[in-house]
Structure 1
C-alpha cells in the first residue's frame, strides 16, 4: 500500500459547524431572498393560451382586422380625408359587447390630455420664432374629425370617444367565431412635425413651398384584444407606441399627379402611376442584386417639384397579414431599389428621398436596407414581406410594416460628416429592423417598450458589427451602459416598467435591454446556445402577440440555461454590476505546522495533527514561517513530497503538474447584480491566463467568492473583466495590485 500524504491549500483545515448557543431561544425566520430563486413570483401562471415553455398554447388565439380604405391627400391645405370599411373577426372564446378603436391623432387635439400631464418649466431665453410658436400662434385644429360610423347596412352605429380611444357600442354581442363589418369616415389636418412634433406629418421646404409627407396613425385602428388583458385600450400619451392586430389591407391613395409614393404593401397599379421608362427601370431593379437602380431620377424629381399639378393620381396598395399601414408621398421624391436574395426568396430593398438627401442617400440607404434584411433574417427568419422601404424624413426615425422614416442628410453643399453618415446608417438599420420586432413578432409596445426597442437595438448592434467597418455602435457593448447604470438611482427604473413611466427612455428601453442580450450572447450563454434560443423565440411568435414571460421562458426552454437570476436582476431591478478583488494571499509550503494550525479546531476532526505527517501551506505574512520555507516550491526540497513522489509510477509522475506558487483570491460583490467572474492573471513573464467562473459561484454566498490558484509562475497582476464584458460600474477595485485609473483628461 502506498503512503498517502495530504496537501492542504488553506491555513484552516476544517471548521466544525457551530452548535446553537441557546437551545431554548426561538429565532425569527426569514424569507427566501436568494437571487437564484426561480421567477414564479414574477411571471404569469402558464395556461392553455401560453405554456410554461414560452410557446403559444393549444388554445392560443388572436383577433384579425381587415381594412379597405380610400384616402385622399389635399396637398394645398395639408389635409387628409379617409373612409374605411373594417371587418373584425372575433377568434376569441369570448363574446364582445363592444369594440375599441384607437384614434391616435387625437393625442394632438386641443383637448388632449398629454400636455396637461407634463410638468413645465419657464424658459427665459427664446429665439423670436420659438417664442412666437409657443406663445403667439393660435393653436391649430388637430385630431380626427369623425364624420360617421355606420354598420354594414349603412345604419349609424353608437360610439363613444374617450380622448385617443373610441368605443363602438354593439347592438348585440359579437359571438366567438363570428365577424362584423362597419364603416368610418373621417378627416384631419396634417401636422408639420418639425414645428409641432409628432411621429408623422409633413416636412415643409419653404423656398419652393413643397411638402414631403410621411403619413401614419392616419386612420382609426382596431385595438388588440387578447388572453392577457382583454382589450388593450390604454390611452396614447405620446410615449408608449402601438398595440395592433394583424389583418389584410387594400388601400387606394389619391394624391397630386406629380407625386411619387411608397407605402405598406404591394403596388397593384404600377403601370398607371409610373412612366414607361420608370417601369423598365423597376423591372431591371428586380433583377439587380449588387447595387441600387435609380427608378425615378433626380432630374425627374427636380422637374416635378416645380410643377404643382392640379391633376390627381390614385396609387393602389395591397398588404397581407400586416399590423399597420404607412405612406410616404411627395413630388420631390427620387426613387431607387435593388433585389435581395434570402434563400429561395427575392425581396426588394428601396429608398425614396429628396435631392437634399443626395449624394448620401443614393450611395448608402438602399444598400443598408439590403444588409439589414440579410442580417436580421439570418438571426430570426427570412423576411416574409415583398419589400422594405427607407424614406428620408428630416428629424424622424419611425417604423411601419415594409416602410420607415429615417433622418440624416448632407449639408447644403452636399457634404456629409462621418458622424451624420453613421447616424443615418444606424437609424436605417434600426427602423428597417423594426419590421421583425414588432411588426412581425408583434409585442405590446404600449405596455412594454423594451420588447420591440430593446430587442431591435440588440439586433441592430449585431447588424452593425456585421458591416465589417468597425462601425461606432451607440448601444450594445457592455461598457456603454455603465454611465447610465452608475447614475442616481432616483432616475432609474427597472426595464420592466410601463412605457409612460420611464425617465431615461433611450437608456432604459433601448440600451439596457440590448446590452443585457449582448452579455447573454457573448459572456453568459455563448453564441451557439443564445442564437438558437433567440431564433426559436422569433419563430414561435412571428405573426403573434408575445409577452415578456414568453420571451424569458423560451430563452431558457430552448437553451437549457437557467436564466431566472439574470432576468430577475437585469430586467426587474436597477441593481448594478460591481465585482472586485478584496483580498489576495500567498501561501508557502512547509512541513512544520504553525501555532495557529496547532490551535485550530482541525485537531477535533478527521485531520488530527497528531496523525500526520502533513504538508502545510502557510500565509506569507505568518511570523512563524521560516525563511527557508518562504520560497518557490521545489518538490525535492520538501521531504514528505519527495518521498511520496518516489512511490508513484512513472506514468503518474508524467501526469503531475509542478506548481511553485500558491494564492488564495477573495472576490467580493459590492453591486447587487449577479454576473460571472471574468479573471485575467498575468504572470511574471507577462503571459496571461484567463478564468471564467459562472454566476452560480454566488449562489451560497452573495457577497464573497474565494478561489485558489496553484501556478508554475509567480502572479504579477490579477484583473477582473479585462474586456469590459459585464457592465461593471467601478473598475477601481478590479485589479491587484491596485492600480490608479486614468482620468478622462489623461
Structure 2
C-alpha cells in the first residue's frame, strides 16, 4: 500500500464530498468549519504555519549528459552520469527513474485506457487512439552501471524504471551511476506529446523540441515517499533539483537553445553572430543573433559536419532543448529587480512577423511581473521557442503563434500567442522554482501560474482579453451538471474538463481572494510569502492553504473548503425586499395608512366596476348611510397631535436626530441556492440616480448557510438593488440578483473547431484585408 494513501485519498471526489459536510442535515456547522483532518498533520518537516519545518529535507540529483541528435533518422542517443544525494532520514535500497518517452511505447497503459468512438468525420488525432500505436517508439535502455562500469539490475514498469542498489544508500550518502539509452523521436504533430519533431515539407527541415528526453530521478519526499505514479501524458512532473552539464551534438548548421547557459557560444557561432550576442548583453531591444536571412540560407542545404553545444545549469529540476537549422534567434538584456537576465526567443520564418516584434519583450515582461508578485527571478536566462506547442521547462518554454504566408495575422492569434508565452514563461516560477507535484495536484502548477498569468496579461495591456481569471468567465463551467464536474483537489488523470478545473477555476478563486475576500495588500504579502518559503522546495496544498492564512490573519478554511474541495457553484438570490420608514408625525402616519388602506382595497373587480359606471346600492339608497359613511378615518385629530408631541418631547437629542433623519429601512432576504458561500455585494441605486455599494462578509452565512436576512438604513429612497454588480463572485444566475427583477437576454456563441497547426493564424484577419486594399 502506498505511503501517501492518506493524501491521495483526499483527492477522491466521494471522500471530499463527505468530508465537506461536518454537520449533515443542518443549516449551519458545515461550510464554515475548519479543514482540520482534511489536511495532513503538521510535523517536524512541515509546520502548522505552512512553512518548511526545522527538519525539512529534500533529495538532490546532478547530471552529466552527452547526447547526439541524428537528423537523418530522427533519433536521439545519450549517456548520462547521475549523482544522487540521499538527504532523507531513510535508508534506500532502490531508486526510481522516470522514462517519460515511454508514454509512446505500445505496451504502456495510456495507449489503451482512453475511450474512443467513431464519428462521421475523423481526424488523425482522433484515429490515434484507435489505430495501433507506433511500435518504433519508446526508450531503449542500453545499459545501467555503477561508476566503475559494473552492471546494475533494473526493472522497467512502463514509464518508471527501478534501479536496485548494490548496497543500502544511507542518510547523508550519495551514489553515482550511469545510464545509456536511445529512442526514436516522435512526430509531435501526429503522435502528440510534448517533445519530438515537426517536419516542414516546404523546405524539408525539422524542428526538434528535446524534452523529457533523459532518464531522470523521481521525487522521494517526506509526505509520500517515492512519487512513481505513471506518466500517462497529462499529469506533469514532480522532479528533483540538481546541477546539469549537458553536451548536445547536432548538425553543424543547427542552432541550439537550452536550459541554462551555453559554455561555448564562441565556438558555435560565426564571428558576426558572436559579436551580435555580445551586443545583446547590453541591449534594451531584441538583437537578432541569428538573423532571418541566415536561417533561410541554412534551410537551403544540409551539412554532414557536427558541432557539440555545451550547456550548464545550476539548481534546476529539469533540462530541455531546441535544435534546428530553421531558427532565428534574438536576445536582449532584461533588468529584473537589479539582476540581468537574458530574455531570448527562437522561431522560424512562419512566426517571424509575430515573434520578432513581441516574443522576447513578452518574456522580459513576464519575469518582471512574476518577480513582483512572487520572488525575484533567480536564473540567468529565460527563453521562448515557437514550436506550435505550449510546454514549459526551466529557463526555456515552447509556445505557438504563426502568421499567414503574407505576414499578416489575426488579433486572436496575436493575443493567443502573447497569452501562451506569458503562461509558459511564467511556469519558471510554478512549478520550476516552487516545485509542486502536478501529477497529484494539477492546480498547484497550472492554477497558480494561470492566476499570475492573468495579472501579467492585465499589466501588459489594459484591454488584454484574458480568458481565465475574471470571475464571470468561470460561470459556464461551474453551472455544468455535477457528473461533469470534480473538485479542484482531484488527481490530474481523473479530471474531465481539465482546462476549466486545473487552470481556470483555481485562477479565478485566487483572483477572487485577492480582489474581493482579502484585498490586494493582505493577499499579495501572503502570496509572496508562500513563494519565498517554498522556492526550490516541494510544497503540498496544505502548505499553501496554511501559509496564506498564517501570513494574512484571514481565516480562509471556508473558502478552501468550498472552492477547492467541492463542486458547489455560487448562486445568491435576492428573494425579497421590504421597505420601512419611521411613522413620523401624525399627518405622515395617517397618509401612509391611507396609502396602505387604498392599496389593500384595490382589486381588478373594483376597478372594472368603476370603469363600467356601476351605481352602488349605498349611493342610491341614502338611508343606508351612517356615521362611518362620511367619517374620514385618516384625519389627524387633536388627540393624535397631542400624543405625538408628548412622544417627541420625550426623545433624547440623539433619538430626535435619528427620528428627524427620515431614514429608509430596507429588509433584504437572501437565499444560497448554489451552496458555495460567498460575500454579499449590494449595489443600491437611489431615486435621484446616485449609487452606493455595501460589501457584507461571507460570514453572514455562518449561522444559516441557506437563507439570511439583513436590514439596511439608507438616507435616500431606493429605486433598485443589484447583487454582485462587478461580477466578482462567479454567480451562475444573475437573473435573481436584482430588485425589481429585470429580464436579461440569453447568449449563445457560434464557433467552429480549430484546424491546422496549433497557433497558426486563425479567425478574422483585418490586417490582411487592409493590406490587400
Output the TM-score relative to the length of structure 2: 0.85
Q: What CA deviation, in whole Å up to 9, does each residue of 1:604-630 have, x standing for no partner?
A: xxxxxxxxxx9xx99996899999699
Is the partner of 1:359 in helix, strand or coil?
helix
Q: What CA deviation, in whole Å up to 9, does each residue of 1:253-273 have, x standing for no partner?
A: 000000011000111111110
Does residue 1:311 correspond to 2:313, yes or no? no
Does residue 1:323 correspond to 2:317, yes or no? yes
Does residue 1:399 correspond to 2:392, yes or no? yes
Aligned residue in 2 for 1:266: 261
Does residue 1:223 correspond to 2:218, yes or no? yes
Aligned residue in 2 for 1:339: 333
**583-592 or 697-706: which moved more?**
583-592
Runs of 4+ in 1 over 3 A off after TM superposition: 28-33, 129-138, 590-593, 617-630, 635-642, 652-657
Counterpart Cα distance in 1 of 2:52 and 2:369 = 26
Q: CA deviation at 1:277?
A: 1.1
Distance 1:135 1:735, change over 3 A: closer
Aligned residue in 1 for 2:679: 676
1:133-148 to structure 2, matched below 5 A, reads 139-148=134-143
Distance 1:618 1:484, change over 3 A: farther
- Aligned pair partner of 1:113 in 109, 112, 118: 109
Does residue 1:246 correspond to 2:241, yes or no? yes
Does residue 1:561 correspond to 2:564, yes or no? no
Distance 1:65 1:714, change over 3 A: same
Aligned residue in 2 for 1:504: 497
Q: CA deviation at 1:200?
A: 1.1
Distance 1:281 1:629, change over 3 A: farther
Aligned residue in 2 for 1:648: 653
Does residue 1:72 correspond to 2:68, yes or no? yes
Counterpart Cα distance in 1 of 2:543 and 2:649 = 62
Counterpart Cα distance in 1 of 2:104 and 2:298 = 32
Q: CA deviation at 1:638?
A: 5.3
Distance 1:618 1:310, change over 3 A: farther
Is the partner of 1:570 in helix, strand or coil?
helix
Q: CA deviation at 1:589?
A: 2.8
Counterpart Cα distance in 2 of 1:349 and 1:158 = 43
Does residue 1:369 correspond to 2:363, yes or no? yes
Larger proportion of helix: 2
Aligned residue in 1 for 2:4: none
Q: CA deviation at 1:87?
A: 0.3
User: Please, what is the CA RMSD of the aligned residues?
Assistant: 2.7
Distance 1:136 1:171, change over 3 A: closer
Counterpart Cα distance in 1 of 2:278 and 2:660 = 70
Aligned residue in 1 for 2:544: 551
Q: What CA deviation, in whole Å up to 9, does each residue of 1:682-734 have, x standing for no partner?
A: 00001001000000000011112222122222110010000100000011110
1:420-439 to structure 2, matched below 5 A, reads 420-439=413-432
Aligned residue in 2 for 1:385: 379
Counterpart Cα distance in 2 of 1:149 and 1:549 = 38
Aligned residue in 2 for 1:21: none
Aligned residue in 1 for 2:160: 165
Q: CA deviation at 1:130?
A: 7.5
Q: CA deviation at 1:359?
A: 1.1
Is the partner of 1:466 in helix, strand or coil?
helix
Counterpart Cα distance in 1 of 2:668 and 2:363 = 50
Does structure 2 retain, via aligned residues, the 8 Å contact 1:586–1:620? no
Q: What CA deviation, in whole Å up to 9, does each residue of 1:126-156 have, x standing for no partner?
A: 47x7899788898341110000000011100
Q: CA deviation at 1:661?
A: 2.1
Distance 1:619 1:167, change over 3 A: farther
Does structure 2 retain, via aligned residues, the 8 Å contact 1:585–1:619? no
- Aligned pair partner of 2:93 in 91, 97, 108: 97
Does residue 1:728 correspond to 2:731, yes or no? yes
**617-626 or 222-231: which moved more?**
617-626
Aligned residue in 1 for 2:629: none
Counterpart Cα distance in 2 of 1:676 and 1:588 = 27
Is the partner of 2:209 in helix, strand or coil?
strand
Does residue 1:529 correspond to 2:505, yes or no? no
Counterpart Cα distance in 1 of 2:494 and 2:642 = 69
Show structure 1 runs of 5+ residues with no match. Answer: 1-27, 594-613
**352-361 or 225-234: which moved more?**
352-361
Is the partner of 2:69 in helix, strand or coil?
strand
Aligned residue in 2 for 1:360: 354
Aligned residue in 1 for 2:754: none
- Aligned pair partner of 1:206 in 201, 205, 215: 201
- Aligned pair partner of 1:582 in 575, 583, 590: 575
Does structure 2 retain, via aligned residues, the 8 Å contact 1:55–1:550? yes
Q: What CA deviation, in whole Å up to 9, does each residue of 1:4-62 have, x standing for no partner?
A: xxxxxxxxxxxxxxxxxxxxxxxx99898421100003100000000000000011000
Does residue 1:452 correspond to 2:445, yes or no? yes
Distance 1:59 1:133, change over 3 A: closer
Aligned residue in 2 for 1:45: 41
Distance 1:410 1:53, change over 3 A: same
1:449-528 to structure 2, matched below 5 A, reads 449-528=442-521
Does residue 1:122 correspond to 2:118, yes or no? yes
1:78-89 to structure 2, matched below 5 A, reads 78-89=74-85
Show structure 2 runs of 5+ residues with no match. Answer: 1-23, 601-631, 750-773
Counterpart Cα distance in 1 of 2:704 and 2:594 = 24
Distance 1:277 1:618, change over 3 A: farther
**702-711 or 218-227: which moved more?**
702-711
Does structure 1 retain, via aligned residues, the 8 Å contact 2:69–2:250? yes
Distance 1:244 1:638, change over 3 A: farther
Q: CA deviation at 1:343?
A: 2.1
Does structure 2 retain, via aligned residues, the 8 Å contact 1:588–1:619? no
Q: CA deviation at 1:473?
A: 0.3
Distance 1:745 1:476, change over 3 A: closer
Aligned residue in 1 for 2:693: 690
Distance 1:544 1:628, change over 3 A: farther
Counterpart Cα distance in 2 of 1:580 and 1:690 = 17
Aligned residues: 688
1:569-648 to structure 2, matched below 5 A, reads 569-590=562-583, 639=645, 642-644=648-650, 648=653
**97-106 or 130-139: which moved more?**
130-139
Distance 1:449 1:620, change over 3 A: farther
Counterpart Cα distance in 2 of 1:629 and 1:724 = 49
Is the partner of 2:429 in helix, strand or coil?
coil
Does residue 1:174 correspond to 2:204, yes or no? no
Output the TM-score relative to the length of structure 1: 0.88
Counterpart Cα distance in 2 of 1:687 and 1:42 = 47
Distance 1:274 1:653, change over 3 A: farther
Does structure 1 retain, via aligned residues, the 8 Å contact 2:116–2:130? no
- Aligned pair partner of 1:184 in 176, 179, 183: 179
Does structure 1 retain, via aligned residues, the 8 Å contact 2:104–2:111? no
Q: CA deviation at 1:657?
A: 7.5
Distance 1:163 1:589, change over 3 A: same
Does structure 1 retain, via aligned residues, the 8 Å contact 2:671–2:707? yes
Counterpart Cα distance in 2 of 1:421 and 1:239 = 26
Counterpart Cα distance in 2 of 1:136 and 1:667 = 55
Counterpart Cα distance in 1 of 2:459 and 2:642 = 55
Does residue 1:152 correspond to 2:147, yes or no? yes
Is the partner of 1:539 in helix, strand or coil?
helix
Is the partner of 1:446 in helix, strand or coil?
coil
- Aligned pair partner of 1:738 in 733, 737, 741: 741
Q: CA deviation at 1:740?
A: 0.9
Counterpart Cα distance in 2 of 1:330 and 1:363 = 21
Distance 1:397 1:624, change over 3 A: closer
Counterpart Cα distance in 2 of 1:329 and 1:620 = 84
